[in-house]
Amino acid sequence: MFENVTRALQDLRDGKIILIYDADNRERETDMVIASEKVTPEIIRTMRKDAGGLICTTVHNDIRELIEIPYLADVFSDISDRYPIFSQLSPNDIPYDTKSAFSITINHRNTFTGITDRDRALTISEFAKFARRALTTENGWAKEEFGRLFRAPGHVYLLNARKDLLVSRFGHTELATAMTVMAGVVPTATICEMMGDDGNALPKEQAKAYAREHGLVFLEGKEIITAWRSGAWSR
């Protein structure tokens, strides 16, 4: 039943890209997805050229709580008294969702501009290394270390996954993060929407064709949700 998911989990462990389509009643988009700890400049180049959307890195709630990074919409709300324009920009009319996953943007302090393939790969891979250590260290150094390693704003967009993974929100942030949890890698994924040459999101059937051509696993969100809820991956 979970053969497709099982293959995708192994590909994540092996540092390969997988494709995830969320749902027909949601964004109707396919994202390239890879475990953040496996990101290289070549992966960033592939996402930039073959996908073409926004390259983002997901943050599991356990990591988010350790470094206390906010949802960007909450930051805007909190400063709206000082900057009233932000009260007008509230994302309360997203047609397919209830809350944006966007958090802060970062660059690693050893990057130059932060936007090159090498710079973004460095930021993302170092974030994954930081996350692994933060989740296994008990001395409370995470917030200070995060500030020592990274600066903001930057060119890597962080996306906060919901605490209740795949319970109340079923976006690519949660789907990809759940896949990293099931794969047993550092629970952060790097994702990028696949765009079509017509200016719209790449249609699902074309994304499937790309997967076949490049030997990649194509997953639908409902497959991931079913596997996650089964709990079979944790046994």
**Could you confirm whether 21 is annotated as catalytic?**
no
Question: Which H or E element spans position 138?
Answer: none
Q: β-strands 189-193, 56-59: how paired?
A: antiparallel
Which of 193, 210, 220, 223 does the annotation list as catalytic?
193
Verify whether residue 56 is a known catalytic residue.
yes
Among the listed residues 22, 37, 56, 60, the single catalytic one is 56
**Of 31, 37, 126, 220, which is the active-site residue?**
31
27 is catalytic: no
31 is catalytic: yes
Q: Which of 14, 74, 83, 96 is catalytic?
A: 96
How far apart are the C-alpha atoms of 213 and 202, rounded to whole Å? 15
With CA atoms as reference, report the closest residue to 159 among 233, 63, 91: 63
The residue from 11, 37, 71, 107 that is catalytic is 107
Distances (CA, A) of 3 to 10, 40, 106: 11, 27, 36
Q: In 3-state terms, what secondary structure has residue 115?
A: coil
Q: Is 172 a catalytic residue?
A: no
Q: Which residues pair with 31 in a beta bridge?
A: 20, 193
Identity of residue 7: R
193 catalytic, yes or no?
Answer: yes
C-alpha closest to that of 56 among 75, 76, 29, 74: 29
Rounded distance, CA 226 to CA 124, Å?
Answer: 29
Contact yes or no for 59/103 (Cβ under 8 A): yes
Residue type, 113: T
Catalytic residues: 31, 56, 96, 107, 155, 193
